[in-house]
């Protein structure tokens, strides 16, 4: 097993997790449960391919993908903040809605129930091993940037305040609803970038191509105890497990069924060691009047 090959593949696999987990941290620190990351990623991936297909430009695809994630994030925000719906139920509904909507429009625009035609994307230089993709570099820095935003800016202070003590924040003039809307919108755009990366790296959209990555990202948020840097390290850990699974698939020493279990088993073990000791934001999931 080549260590350099292992690390480069691990980083590429981690990028969608890094985007989605960073978005999940922002929303959850503001008190909104982020089970919607899978739906945001899927909608971003489809919108990116749609925009790229009709414009011919992957940069238009990036903007389209971000807009797709923002639309689904606003649906989530309106349901949970404006109408005070149960955040877990809405999260499940958003994920199912994203699957249905992308499948419907895949059939409508591309006359296929499984995948889109190939589109322009980033990268392609085999000697660069994917590191000529600008989204990869953006994914590498997204966690430090979000850590700075959360801990060093007035917006981040407000996000932490409404996630811990919304009544106290309201009493000093902070609009809890406005901050939560902004946090959920930012979460949707960041998670959508994870889907955009997947779609433009593969140069096409396939039905349910995110394949549970959003759920692994929310696991990384919990494992990282709602801190962007720790969540990013958890993403790298899960990506390393997935890379190990891929590189062991050619081995006949271990049954393939056990190899395929590695990433998911690691997620379960990691969360089993954290749940009960990790303390979430005090107002997480609380419905405010």
CA distance 103 to 109: 10
Token pair of 240, please? 């390393």
Q: DSSP string of 16-84? A: HHHHHHHHHHHHHHTT---TTHHHHHHHHHHHHHHHHHHHS-HHHHHHHHHHHHHHHHHHHHIIIIIS-
Tell me what pLDDT residue 242 has.
87
Question: Are the C-beta atoms of 51 and 254 separated by less than 8 Å?
Answer: no
Q: What CA–CA distances, in Å, run from 108 to 46, 50, 192, 204? A: 13, 11, 21, 16
| Token reading at 127 | 């000697």
Task: Give residue 274's pLDDT.
Answer: 61
Taking the whole predicted model, whether its pTM rises above 0.85 is answered as yes
Which tokens belong to 132?
Answer: 């000529």
Tokens of 169: 């924040």
Which residues, in sequence order, are CB contacts of 244 under 8 Å at separation 6+? 6, 262
Tracing tokens 């000697």 back to the chain, one arrives at: 127
pLDDT at 117 over 60: yes
Tokens read off for 187:
């979460």
Residues in the chain, total: 289
pLDDT, tens digit (0-9, with 9 covering 90-100), for 60-100: 999 999 999 999 999 999 999 999 999 999 999 999 999 99
pLDDT digit string (tens) for 205-240?
999 999 889 999 999 999 899 999 999 999 999 999
The CA dihedral of 215, 232, 280, 32, to the nearest 10 degrees, is -60
Asked whether residue 276 carries a pLDDT value surpassing 60, the answer given is no
Average pLDDT over every residue of 46-61: 95
pLDDT of residue 195: 96
């Amino acid at each position: 097993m080549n260590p350099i090959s292992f690390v480069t593949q691990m980083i590429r696999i981690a990028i969608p997790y890094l985007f989605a987990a960073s978005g999940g941290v922002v929303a959850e620190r503001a008190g909104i449960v982020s089970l919607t990351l899978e739906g945001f990623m899927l909608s971003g991936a489809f919108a990116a391919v749609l925009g790229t297909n009709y414009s011919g430009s992957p940069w238009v695809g990036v903007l389209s993908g971000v807009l797709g994630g923002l639309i689904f994030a606003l649906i989530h925000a309106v349901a949970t903040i404006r109408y005070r719906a149960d955040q877990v139920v809405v999260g499940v509904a958003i994920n199912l809605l994203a699957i249905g909507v992308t499948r419907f429009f895949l059939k409508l625009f591309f006359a296929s129930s499984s995948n889109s035609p190939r589109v322009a994307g980033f990268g392609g230089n085999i000697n660069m091993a994917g590191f000529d993709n600008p989204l990869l570099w953006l994914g590498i820095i997204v966690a430090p940037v979000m850590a700075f935003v959360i801990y060093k800016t007035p917006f981040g202070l407000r996000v932490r305040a409404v996630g811990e003590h919304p009544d106290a924040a309201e009493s000093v003039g902070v609009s809890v609803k406005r901050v939560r809307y902004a946090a959920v919108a930012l979460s949707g755009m960041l998670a959508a970038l994870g889907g955009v990366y997947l779609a433009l790296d593969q140069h096409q959209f396939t039905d349910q191509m995110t394949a549970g990555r959003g759920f692994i990202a929310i696991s990384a948020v919990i494992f990282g105890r709602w801190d962007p840097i720790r969540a990013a390290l958890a993403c790298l850990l899960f990506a390393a497990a997935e890379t190990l699974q891929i590189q062991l698939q050619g081995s006949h020493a271990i049954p393939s069924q056990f190899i395929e279990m590695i990433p998911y088993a690691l997620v379960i073990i990691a969360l089993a060691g954290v749940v009960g000791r990790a303390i979430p934001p005090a107002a997480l999931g609380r419905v405010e009047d």
